[in-house]
Chains A and B, each alone.
Chain A
């Protein structure tokens, strides 16, 4: 015994087996995704539907009361799979080139992103997001989290909440593909839809998030996180406003220091450093080039975090785009180099041959 459904396809009514319906529905959904960017996609889909209706109608006339999965398979074979249709019908498409006329930059990214999975969540979807990122079973991550909860001195709740705030929610099929590190192309979106990652009944054309019915717990937790997020944002803006004059001052001082370094050489610089009085004139104990390098190091060591902080604050306040990754790496590299420079300098300054052992100097330089 099989359950059947009644469908209206291209103006005709059909009784169709449930599995046959699923197949046909997936097929039409895939086609709709294929043609969604094309002008007149609705008309194309109507053509498909009325033709399929015609073909199935022939079966009906042959005496089949119910359309079964074999009939649907025959029809699909005759109409062609989305790949075949696209391959054959588009004279400008080259073979074996994945379709990436998506226009948006996500089309080319194969990079994985840490995102929360909206379709597979108990609280925020953090665990499933981590699992997708690490390519492991979400249940394993959840178990590990729960186990960690019982181990004292490991504050697992705080990082979880932070991750919840920081990780974006993967809402669309495209998001979920990025989350899994799969390339975003039509085949994959189609696959992800047919795999049931996304509810196909929702408006496929614009990939609006498929809002699964959520439990009260999830709703409450979502509300809490949104609330805390807004609070944090307000807090960050206030801090930013308070800190801004200070930061401007710091930058100003840094400029003076740099200017002093170029104008007056290292000797002048030592005088400007607040924590080293001019009375300690150890400059003679160290080679000049080292002093210059050390000073540059010190400026970078202080300056890079300050600039990074300013950039971050400005970004939050004025909604700037985040710093590009290469820039971040270069800054980090520079900072490490400057740290090494400072340490080397401090070591030389701290232990000049005729001064013997001085403990505090290296720290005061850094």
Chain B
């Protein structure tokens, strides 16, 4: 059992949740999402995100439109769909439950 391994598994598990959370408030360019996730140390390399975003889009949790940027060609501008919002609500509940469980365990076995 390797601590790094477990930690990276935890991060991986939270990645989708975090992407949905980031887009909950406002739509964003792919590069913005990448930047925020890298700041939060949730991903190391950018390449991780493109397949993930496409997967989320294909599950109709996200949608995008092409928006002109200040420089260069138009870029994808991602936003949460209604289905995505419902999905996020579910995830938030289970995240809450997980937190409570951990807090409870900590309390019982200090």
Give the B-binding residues of A (Cβ under 8 A). 10-12, 31, 35, 38-40, 43-44, 47-48, 50-51, 53-54, 57, 78-82, 84-85, 88-91, 95
Contact = CB atoms under 8 A, between A and B. Distances in A.
Interface in B33-52: 43-52
Interface size class of B (residues with CB under 8 A): 20 to 34
A81 B16 CA distance: 21
B15 A91 contact: yes
B81 interface: no
B54 A84 contact: no
4 shortest interchain CB distances as A-B pairs: A80-B45, A89-B48, A91-B12, A85-B47
Given A51-B30, A90-B12, A80 B75 contact: no
Nearest to A90: B12
B24 interface: no
B46 to A, nearest CB: 5
Interface in B66-101: 71-73, 75-76
Nearest to A89: B48
A39 B55 CA distance: 8
A183 to B, nearest CB: 23
Contacts of B76: 47
Main secondary structure of the interface of A (DSSP, over half): helix
Nearest to B73: A11
Contacts of B15: 89, 91
Residue in A31, A43, A48 with the greatest tally of chain B CB atoms within 10 Å: A43
Given A57-B72, A88-B44, A51 B50 contact: yes
Given A10-B73, A54-B72, A47 B44 contact: no
A95 B8 CA distance: 10
A38 B76 CA distance: 20
A80 B47 CA distance: 6
A204 B49 CA distance: 23
Given A48-B50, A91-B12, A95-B5, A39 B58 contact: yes
B28 interface: no
B16 A47 contact: no
Nearest to B75: A50
Contacts of A90: 12
